[in-house]
A and B are shown apart, each in its own frame.
Chain A
C-alpha cells in the first residue's frame, strides 16, 4: 500500500491535565493515485490525523508509512494545503510557489518555469507578480494548491481547504481540483466536514466517529467513466454518510447541550422525486 496508517493512537492533555484520547487505533490503507476523504463531526481528530501524516505532530503509538518510508518529520514529499492558504505575505505569488523548489536546491530558471506551468494550470498566469493580499480567497487557495503541486509530492494532504470559501468559489475549485487530480494522478488525502464535498470529490470516504476518534465506516463512492455522476447516486451516498454520522452528531450535541437534545436528519437533502425507487 502506498500510505499505511498502522495502529495510530494519540492523546492530548486538557486544562485539568487529564489525558483525552483523540485518535484510537486508526488503521487506514490508501492506494497510490487515489482520492480519499475523511469526514466526521468537529473535534473527531481528523485534522490531527492529517498533521500526523504530515509529520507536524507525533503519535503516541503506531506508525505511518508513505511510499515505504516511515514518517518522522515534515517533508516536501507530504505537503499540506491548509484551511487558510498560509501564503507568505512578503513574497509574490511566484516566489511563494517557488519557495519549496528553492529549498530543494533547484536551479532558479527551472524552478520558475515549473512554477509558471503550475500557475497556468490553476489559471493564475496573470497574477504571478501580485502579492497575496491582492488576491481573493479562492485565488489564494489556488496559489496554495499550486505551491503544493509544484513539489510533485507523494501525497497531497488537504485540511478543509475550501471551507473558508463561498459556495460558488468552492464549486469552481471542486471542479478544478478534480481536473488537476486526473491530470497529475497525485494521491490526495482530504479532510472535510462537508459531506457533499467528500462525495463529489473522492473515491473513498472514511467516516470518523468522535471521542475518541476512530473509523466508523469506509464507503466507496461509485464513480462513472466520464467523472460525472447522476444526482441520484451522489444523493444516495450523501444520505448514507449522513445516516452514519447522525449518531455521532447527536453524541456531540448531547455533550454540549444536555441529554434531552435530539437531532433528526431524516428530512435533510430530500429531492423532489422522493423515495420512488431513486436509490435502487
Chain B
C-alpha cells in the first residue's frame, strides 16, 4: 500500500528523480550496493564500531554502577554527575572529541561509547539496588561473600533490569554512531548517507536508511526481545 503510493507519487511528482526517487529505483540501488559490496562494507564497519563501543559501555557501566551502588560517597558525587551526563545527547560530545582525538575513528568510537555508558550505569545501579534483601540474606547465610556474592547473586538478580538497560543503551549508541559517522566520516553507513547527499543520490540515501531501519529492528526484536523473553520464561514473570 505505502509502496504503491510511494511509486505513484514519485512518478507523478514534479521533483526530479535524484531528489525523490521511486521505490523501484531505490531497490535497484540497494541491490547494487549490496552486490558491489559498497553497502555491505559500510554495514560491517558500522557494526564493528558499535560492537566495540557497546562492549566498552557495558563494562564501564557495570563497574560504575557497582561503585555507585556500593559506596554512599560515590553515589552522592558520581551518581549525581551521571544523571546529569545522561541528559546530554552524546553527539554533543563530538566537538570535544574532535579536539581531543582528532577527526578519526576514535572520536566516533568515543561518542558511541559515551552514548551508551551513562544509561548503562543508571540501569546497572538501579538493578543492583533493587536486588531483594531476601536473596542477599540467603546468600550470606550460605557463606557467600565478595566477588562470589556479586557473581552469583547481585548480577543474576539484576539481569532483567540490565537487559532493559542494554536495550536503551543500544538505541542511544546506534543513534550516536550514525550521527558520528555522518559528521566524522571514516566509512560506515553514516558516511554513505553523507556521500549520497553530496553526490545528489537520494536513492542511495534512502537505501541506507532502509538498512539502518532493518538493522535496528533486527537487533531490537531478535536479540533483545529474545533475551528478555528467555529471562521472563526462566523466572516465570509475565
Task: List residues of chain A with CB under 8 Å of any chain B CB.
Answer: 54-56, 74-76, 78-80, 82, 84, 86, 88-90, 99-100, 103-104, 131-134, 151
Residues of A within 8 A of B4 (CB): none
Query: If the complex has contacts A88-B156, A90-B157, are A74 and B141 also in contact, measured as CB distance less than 8 A?
Result: yes
Chain A residue numbers with a CB within 8 Å of B80 are none
Alpha-carbon distance A88/B157, docked complex (angstroms): 8
B140 in the interface (beta carbon within 8 A): yes
Question: How would residues 1 to 14 of chain B score, 1 for a CB under 8 Å from any chain A CB and 0 otherwise?
Answer: 00000000000000
Question: Given contacts A80-B137, A82-B138, A90-B156, is CB(A100)–CB(B235) below 8 Å?
Answer: no
Neighbouring A residues of B143 by C-beta, 8 Å:
74-76, 100, 103-104
Interchain CA distance A165-B38 in the complex, whole Å: 65
Contacts of B137 in A (CB 8 A): 56, 74, 80, 82, 86
- Smallest distance from the beta carbon of A266 to chain B beta carbons, Å? 39
Assess whether B47 is interfacial by the CB under 8 Å rule: no
Residues A76 and B142 in contact, CB atoms below 8 Å apart: yes
Q: What is the interface of chain B, defined by CB distance below 8 A to chain A?
A: 134-135, 137-144, 148, 152-153, 156-157, 159, 234-237
Q: State the Cβ distance, B236 to closest chain A Cβ, in Å.
A: 2
Q: 17 A-B residue contacts at CB 8 Å?
A: A56-B141, A74-B141, A76-B143, A80-B137, A82-B134, A82-B137, A88-B138, A88-B153, A89-B236, A90-B156, A99-B142, A99-B152, A100-B142, A104-B143, A131-B235, A132-B236, A151-B142
In the complex, what distance in Å separates the CA atom of A103 from the CA atom of B152?
Answer: 10
Q: Which residues of A contact B148 (CB under 8 A)?
A: 103
Kindly list 7 other residue pairs between chains A and B, CB separation below 8 angstroms, not including A84-B134, A88-B153. A79-B142, A86-B135, A86-B137, A89-B235, A89-B236, A90-B159, A99-B139
- Residue contact B140 to A131, C-beta cutoff 8 Å: no
The reply to whether B141 and A75 form a contact with Cβ atoms under 8 Å apart is yes
User: Are the C-beta atoms of A90 and B142 separated by less than 8 Å?
Assistant: no
